Amino acid sequence: MVSLILKAGREKSLLRRHPWVFSGAVARIEGSPGPGETVVVIDAKGNRLALGAFSGHSQIVARIWSFDPDTTIDTHFFHDRLQRSLTRRPAFVENTGVRLVNSESDGLSGITVDRYGPWLVGQFTSAGAQLWKQETARILVEMTGTKGLLERSDGEVCAQEGLPESIGPLVGAAPPEKIPIQEHGLTYAVDPWHGHKTGFYLDQKDNRLLIRDGCIGMRVLNAFSFSGGFGLNAVMAGASHVVHLDSSAALLTQAAQNAHCSQLPDDRFEYCKGNAFHKLREWRDQQRNFDVIVLDPPKLADSQAGLQRAARAYKDLNWLAFRLLARGGKLLTFSCSGRMPADLFAKVVADAAVDAGRDAMIQRYLGPPADHPVSLAFPEGRYLKGLLCVVD
């Protein structure tokens, strides 16, 4: 078996069971591994530490499959990992959209699979995941009894890993253009072929439900609205008016369709296409107010170098939101940037409140639901963090 020999002292993260080996930690490679091939990681003293998948085109030169170097990485290994992943998920009853495999946090680095009703949609964004994707898809379809698995390996992650984009059915039949799912009594039409990530943001399901508390008669701004989830929940709970704000006309149309599918009154919704930074400034100048504001922007920090720029952008957004909130109003604010630490995000929001001249308190710290577990050894998996703030 091909060996990755680490530099002296560079084994510490592996001893803490972190699943990545960076190229800068490797002293030499003994052998000529192909993309995704299983390699054994050995420390400078000759101790075998783990087995991982090799990637010569990535800064992460190996992604760990197992910290038991005597494990055999084969079909039985993936069957066991996938079975364990399924058994730790909540019951698939009320909500017909659920994450089944959460990459590193389920011990399957680079593999993410979501279930939408009778269909699976997966992303395979590492060399090892690509090598084993056909087998992974076959096992999951058999275990779940679903109709098929659509691959959605696209976007910037593939480019960073030196992988070609791949979209299409892996196992079974191709899904339709739209898949209806149920979530907390609402209906959404998921676009598995073209939607963000696998077609829907399942990681916000619990937070979408949270907005229902105290929404009767409220005026709500749902910024970066995507398919309208927060706004739909607000109206279902009795909000008098919801503004969906997004830069995409297609997503606003989808939000309107979801409202119709959920049999919610059309006259409660307003759809606004525009840049959130610009529109929030415009509404501030017009002295427009909202009782509840949701800020759920796309990832603003895609590298460590861009973290400070992202912090400024988050502060600007939250400052504007605090200026637009009525007294006693609520702000649900989120960051999905894995590079943004939770404590820094909280500080940025606190600074925004101070600069806006508002007294605010954190009522709840927010994060992903139970089907998006985060390994204690892999804190990077906690990419979604949020705050529920109340202003005086």
Q: pLDDT tens digits, residue range 77-117?
A: 999 999 999 999 877 667 899 999 999 999 999 999 999 99
Q: Does domain 201-391 have CATH number 3.40.50.150?
A: yes
At a CB cut-off of 8 Å and minimum separation 6, what does 252 contact? 225, 244, 246, 271, 272, 273
How wide is the angle at C-alpha 198 spanned by C-alphas 196 and 202, nearest 5°?
90
Stronger pLDDT, 301 or 27, i.e. the higher one: 27
What's the N-to-C CA distance of the chain in angstroms? 63
Q: Which CATH number fits domain 3-66: 2.60.40.10, 1.10.443.10, 3.10.105.10, 2.30.130.10?
A: 2.30.130.10
The one-letter code for the residue type at 37 is: E
Secondary structure of residue 29 in the 3-state scheme: strand
Tokens 């078996």 correspond to 1
Q: Examine the residue annotation and report whether 272 is marked as an active-site residue of this protein.
A: no
Residue 59 has pLDDT above 70, yes or no: yes
Per-residue pLDDT of 315-369, as tens digits, reads 999 999 999 999 999 999 999 998 899 999 999 999 999 999 999 999 999 999 9
How many separate helices (H) and strands (E) can be counted in the chain?
Answer: 11, 20
In the set 158, 215, 336, 389, the catalytic residue is 336
pLDDT tens, position by position, 266-314: 999 999 999 999 999 999 999 999 999 999 999 887 777 789 999 999 9
Distances in Å between the Cα of 119 and the Cα atoms of 82, 142, 177 are: 16, 12, 12
The CA distances from residue 274 to 36, 267, 277, in Å, are 42, 21, 9
Which pLDDT belongs to residue 155? Answer: 81
Q: What is the phi/psi pair of residue 270, to 5°?
A: -125, 135
Query: ∠ at Cα 136 (196, 4), nearest 5°?
Result: 95
Residue 160 pLDDT class (50, 70, 90 cuts): confident
The pLDDT, as a whole number, for residue 125 is 96
pLDDT band at 191 (very low <50, low <70, confident <90, very high): very high
Domain residue extents for the chain: 3-66, 75-172, 201-391
State the pLDDT at residue 67: 98
Specify whether domain 75-172 bears CATH 3.30.750.80. Answer: yes
* pTM summary value: 0.94
CA-to-CA dists, residue 275 to 248, 249, 322, angstroms? 9, 12, 18
Beta strands in 125-178, from DSSP E residues, in sequence order: 148-153, 166-172
Least confidently predicted of 25-34, 83-92, 244-253, 265-274: 83-92
CB 331 within 8 A of CB 360: yes
pLDDT confidence of residue 305: 76
Number of neighbours of residue 10 by Cβ within 10 angstroms: 16
Length of the chain: 392
Is the pLDDT score of 156 beyond 90? no
